[in-house]
Amino acid sequence: MQRRHLLQLCATGPLAGAIGLPGLAGAATPGNAAAGWRTYDVTTHIDLSERTALGRVWVPLPARELGTGEQAHQRLLDSRFEAPGAQRAQIISGPGGAQMLAVEWADAAAPQQLKLVNRVALRDRATDLGQQTLARTASAAELRPWLQASALKPTDGVVGETARKIVADAGAQTDIEKAKAIYDWIVANCQRVGAVRGCGTGDAAYVLTSGNLGGKCADLNGLFVALARASGVPARDVYGVRVDDSARGYKSLGKSGDISRAQHCRAEFYAQGYGWVPVDPADVRKVMLEEAPGGLVKTDARVRAANALLFGAWEMNWMGYNSAEDVRLPGSAQAPLGFFMYPHGETANGRLDSLDPATFRYTLQSARVA
């Protein structure tokens, strides 16, 4: 069920203000640099230069909080927007943690622009897989959505067959063993394909039947999620965007400044006693393809280090949005989205291309402020 909060309705003046997300008002800045927290302003600019009598945009908002207690790794501190010429703006919350700012313009003669500034605090995330530390176990009801198939992540057919073979060949019994077997299989057999647009489509069955087991992060990490679910392991993608260079020395695993094309999908799985465990096999393949001219072999020290790190840890030079699947944009007559990681826009002439920010006319900029 979607929940809507109407921010303002104004027929004559520009809309502007702070976004009142639940629990956001008065949120304290978490810790300081000594505790590993870093703070960023991420600014989205949108200009619907193709002004028509109806213009709409839907922009993903950062997750208010990712992780709790010692495992907290993202907190949204503030969100503010300006929307000259807009008729209305809404915050809409939906399944999978998706929160969006939806803005609508109804005057072709007025500016159709949006500026959204999100301030987020981030710190690196790691799970100690050597010991069980989670006091509370998630209920079956909480985990059920992350075991179900979606349009892009079936759990039967070729996905189910592949999952059973991977688990059987590895002799995996526990959730961690199954997840590790799937992670290792993706790193060993799949490949990053640079020519794929955006982050890929996230179609797990297509990746397995494409003939090259190739794609980008939404494809490879989406495949991890589908295979894990087919093996009975709760799993989900987390869609977001890189906001800074990597402090670990990986040129391919970071982006600062203009991050308009830096969207990145990650994955996590749930294991009893450990909670949600971060993984990113797609970034291992990215290191192999892009870290050095001509690529790197699997035995290269940089690849081995990334492979070890990314089963159980995320470097948080990245901001997460949501884990939503099969997303319907409210007010849109277009088909649902497989995932929600980019700004989306429509005019009276149809949906704009979210994978082409130059034509759509949007930018994302990141700046570290603390």
pLDDT of residue 10: 39
> What pLDDT score does 15 carry?
65
Instruction: Output 288 or 32, whichever has higher pLDDT.
Output: 288
For the segment 175-202, the average pLDDT, to the nearest whole number, is 98
β pairing state of 74-83 and 65-66: antiparallel
**φ, ψ for residue 65, nearest 5 deg:** -155, 135
Interacting residues of 227 by C-beta distance below 8 A, sequence separation 6+: 159, 162, 163, 166, 182, 185, 186, 204
Mean pLDDT of the chain: 92
Digit-coded pLDDT (tens) for 234-275:
999 999 999 999 999 999 999 999 999 999 999 999 999 999
Instruction: Give me the pLDDT at residue 28, please.
Output: 43
User: Which pLDDT does position 6 carry in this prediction?
Assistant: 46
Distance CA 295, CA 284 (A): 12
Domains annotated on the chain, with CATH: 3-19+37-123+321-368 (no CATH), 125-315 (3.10.620.30)
Map tokens 């349009």 to a residue: 151
* pLDDT of res. 333: 85
pLDDT digits over 14-38, tens only? 567 676 555 454 344 555 666 899 9
Residue 318 to residue 240: CA distance in whole angstroms:
7
Q: Is residue 194 over pLDDT 70? A: yes
Which range (38-47, 89-98, 154-163, 171-180) has the least confidence? 89-98
Tell me the whole-structure pTM to 2 decimals.
0.93
The C-alpha angle with vertex 198 and arms to 197 and 199, in degrees rounded to 5, equals 115
156's CB contacts (< 8 A; 6+ apart) are: 149, 230
Give the model confidence (pLDDT) of 311-332 as tens digits. Answer: 999 999 999 999 999 999 998 9
- Position with higher pLDDT, 51 vs 309: 309
Q: What six digits make up the tokens of 189?
A: 């057999």
What is the predicted pLDDT for the residue at 30? 54
The yes-or-no verdict on residue 99 having pLDDT over 90 is yes
Average pLDDT score over residue span 160-167: 99
Mean pLDDT confidence for 189-213: 98
pLDDT confidence of residue 67: 95
Residue 204 CA to residue 151 CA, distance in Å, equals 9
Whether the predicted pLDDT of 2 surpasses 50: no
3-state secondary structure at position 65: strand
Return the amino acid letter for 209: T
pLDDT in tens, 61-88: 999 999 988 889 999 999 999 998 899 9
Greater confidence, 111 or 185? 185
User: Which tokens sit at 325?
Assistant: 């699947």
Above 80 in pLDDT, residue 295?
yes
End-to-end CA distance of the chain: 37
Task: Report the interhelical angle of 281-290 vs 217-230 (nearest 10°).
Answer: 150
Cα–Cα distance list, 124 to 9, 140, 169, 247, 316 (Å): 40, 28, 33, 11, 5
Highest mean pLDDT among 97-101, 293-297, 330-334: 293-297
> What are 206-235's pLDDT values in tens digits?
999 999 999 999 999 999 999 999 999 999
* pLDDT one-digit tens code per residue, 138-156: 999 999 999 999 999 999 9
